[in-house]
Every structure is written in structure tokens, then in C-alpha cells.
Structure 1
Amino acid sequence: MSIERVREHLRRWGRDNDIIERDASTATVLEAANALGLIPARIAKSISLKMGDGAIVVVIAGDMKLDNRKYKEHFGIKAKMLSPEEALHFTGHAVGGVCPFGLPPDVMVYLDISMKRFTTVFPACGSSNSAIELTMEELEEYSLSKGWVDVCKEIAEDVSRETEQ
């Protein structure tokens, strides 16, 4: 089970018992925010993307989305989300529980600077009803992150552009 692999991963830092499990779903940003009593922006959503013959995970604030231009400028390729089947195959986590922990060693994790405005954020922990509260430093360390990137834009930017047209 994916959450057990995450629990084992977090045990290295003595945080395996800090995983929050809810009866309610935490599979989407809004569901997680409701289940945890938070604003959606503090949910750290993990996006699994195609990278060559493999995958990467980019963790972003819940009120953000990938900016295709910024992503291509940083990574040199167009952002292509994994299908649910590919996400499970490459990350070992099903959609709704994809997280930056307990991943195969060839799956790189990047953290978007959109989360740095918070003291703590809440990423998933391998299931559709789990999360953990982490500081930015803890998230960076526990995710074995390759670094911070700036590849997002606010979701609201798209809404305001649509209403202007």
C-alpha cells in the first residue's frame, strides 16, 4: 500500500506517526482543504509529469497551476501530465495520493516557490485521505527535492483573462 511506503520513508526523520488520516477524501485540493480545515492555498499538490522516458513530481501551492511557458523555459520541454495509469506506474502512488515521498529513486522532485509564502503546507502521503503538515525546510529535506523552481501562476489569472475576453 502506498501510504505504508510513505510511512516507511518518513520514519527516517521520526515523522511516520505524524501522518494525518481522515475519513473524508483529501484527493483534490478542495477536498483536502475541507477535510483539514485549511485554505486551499496551503495544500501542497503534487503534479506528476512526463520527463523523457520517466517522470518528475512538481509540488505547488493549492491555489496555483503550472504555467506552460515558465515550465518549458525551466525544463526545456512542454509540460505533459501523466495519465492516472502512468502516475501509478512511475510514482507508485494513485492519483489523489500522489506525493513527493516514497518515490522510486529515478523520479525527481521539484518544489515551486509558490509555497514559500507559508510557514507550513500539507502534502498528501500516498493515499486519498492522508496528509502531513511540514515546514518548507522539512518538505525540501523529506522529499529529497532537487530544488526550488518558479513554474506556476495563480489559477485566478486565467479566470480574469477569460472574463476580459
Structure 2
Amino acid sequence: MPIARVRDFLKPHGLQPLVFEEKLHTSEEAANKLGVEVGQIAKAILFRSNEDNYGLFVAAGDVRVHPKKVKALLGGKKQKMASPDEVVEVTGFQVGAVCPFALRQDIPIYIDESIQRFDKVYTAAGIAESLQPISFDQLVKITNGIVIKASQED
């Protein structure tokens, strides 16, 4: 069960996911539920290059990851978002519930600096009904994330 894997991973860090009765289908729904800005709902997007290099990009919910940055980091001639099947295979999570920790495969995690403007953000925590409150510094530390500027404002 993905939520159990996330809980086991987070426990030594003193973190515990929030679990809700209903699924949170969008960043807007999650922000409304928590009473926070959409930007505080961190999104984790798995990209793949044509050379099968994967990278998980984590950014604030109100920005987009710039394609040129993905290309520069993953290499290859073409990059695209991973398919739903690839997301499950690489991360162990369904699209919409991908968190940046407790991943099935060891891949680079790129954390956009857009998240730094918030004291706390909320990442998915393995299932559509869960979120993990976390600070920028905690997120970087527990993921061994690489801080980058990958975003452009929507």
C-alpha cells in the first residue's frame, strides 16, 4: 500500500501524512481543503528523455516547469512527461498522488526554488486522499533533492 510505504519512510523524520475522507483531485481542491494558496500545494511531475533518463521535478502549484530546464537536466533530444504506466513503474504511485520520497526507483529529484517562498508546502503522500505538510529545507534534506530554478510563472 503506497500510504504505508510513505508513512514508514517519513516516521524517522518525525513527519506524518494527513489523510482525508475524500480524494483531492486537483491542487485547487487541496488548497481549498487546507485553506492555503494553490502555490503551497507542491506538484511532483515525472519527466523522461528519449534516452530513458527520468527525473522528478517538484514545484509550487502555481508555476510551470520550463521545458528547457528539463532538457538541460535530463539530456537527450526529446523530453516529455512520463506516461501514467511509467509513473507507477518508476515512482510506485499513481498520477495525482506522486510524492517526492519513498520512490520505487532511485532517480534524481529536482526541487524548484519556487517552493522556498512558503514556510510550509504540502506534497502528495502516496494516495489521492493524503498530503504531507513539509518545509522547503525538510523536503530538500529527506529527498536529497537538487535545488534548481525550473519554473516560470503561470
Do they superpose with TM above 0.5?
Answer: yes
| 1:144 and 2:122 correspond | no
Tell whether the 8 Å contact from 2:97 to 2:125 is kept in structure 1 after alignment. Answer: yes
Residue 67 (structure 1) shift: 1.1
The 1:111/1:32 distance shift into structure 2, 3 A limit, reads: same
Larger displacement relative to structure 2 (20-29 or 118-127): 20-29
Tell whether the 8 Å contact from 2:90 to 2:105 is kept in structure 1 after alignment. Answer: no
In structure 2, what residue type is equivalent to 1:137? D
Q: Secondary structure at the match of 1:48?
A: strand
Superposition CA RMSD, Å: 1.6
Give me the whole-angstrom Cα distance separating, in 2, the residues matched to 1:23 and 1:83. Answer: 28
Give me the whole-angstrom Cα distance separating, in 2, the residues matched to 1:27 and 1:56. Answer: 23
Residue 73 (structure 1) shift: 3.3
Larger displacement relative to structure 2 (71-80 or 87-96): 71-80
Task: Tell me the alpha carbon deviations over residues 1-54 of structure 1, each in whole angstroms, 9 at most, x when there is no partner.
Answer: 111111111012122xx2111123223211211222211011111011114435
The 1:53/1:76 distance shift into structure 2, 3 A limit, reads: closer
The 1:27/1:107 distance shift into structure 2, 3 A limit, reads: farther
Unaligned 5+ runs, structure 1: 156-165
In structure 1, what residue type is equivalent to 2:11? R
Runs of 4+ in 1 over 6 A off after TM superposition: none
TM-score of the pair, normalised by structure 2: 0.90
Tell whether the 8 Å contact from 2:65 to 2:152 is kept in structure 1 after alignment. Answer: yes
| 1:92 and 2:59 correspond | no
Q: 1:19 aligns with which of 4, 17, 20?
A: 17
Q: Secondary structure at the match of 2:36?
A: coil
Residue 105 (structure 1) shift: 4.5
Larger displacement relative to structure 2 (52-61 or 95-104): 52-61
Task: Tell me the alpha carbon deviations over residues 39-75 of structure 1, each in whole angstroms, 9 at most, x when there is no partner.
Answer: 1011111011114435221100000111112332344
Larger displacement relative to structure 2 (88-97 or 47-56): 47-56
The 1:105/1:83 distance shift into structure 2, 3 A limit, reads: closer
Give me the whole-angstrom Cα distance separating, in 1, the residues matched to 2:58 and 2:106. Answer: 16
TM-score of the pair, normalised by structure 1: 0.84
Give me the whole-angstrom Cα distance separating, in 1, the residues matched to 2:74 and 2:97. Answer: 24
Map of 2:70 onto structure 1: 71
Tell whether the 8 Å contact from 1:88 to 1:95 is kept in structure 2 after alignment. Answer: yes
Tell whether the 8 Å contact from 1:25 to 1:31 is kept in structure 2 after alignment. Answer: no
Unaligned 5+ runs, structure 2: none
